[in-house]
Amino acid sequence: MAQFVVRNIDDATKARLQRRAKRNGRSMEEEVREILRSATHKEPSGAGGLGTELSALFAQAGLDFDIPELTGHQIQPPTFK
């Protein structure tokens, strides 16, 4: 099993962790393990690429046709005046 040390935890955070551990009937160390287990078992967010993220964002927009790919067009930089 792996080990690691977390340094520089402020006193208020440590006190909240101690209260949480006591409330759950665990040691502080076991409470931290449970927090880490829980945090790493959640569904990953943002795992897709940009296209996937944009598609998900606009999925409810109601488009019922494909948007054509823009190929062969010269890109013009914007002009600022």
Q: What is the pTM of this model?
A: 0.52
Contacts of 44 (CB under 8 A, 6+ apart): none
| N residues, the chain | 81
pLDDT over 70 at 2, yes or no: yes
Spatial CA neighbour of 35 closest among 55, 16, 48, 12: 16
42 has pLDDT over 80: no
**Would the pLDDT of 70 be above 80?**
no
Domain range summary for the chain, segments of one domain joined by +: 7-41
Report the candidate in 7, 55, 14 with the shortest Cα–Cα distance to residue 31.
Answer: 14
Question: What single letter denotes the amino acid at residue 5?
Answer: V
Check residue 45 and give its pLDDT.
64
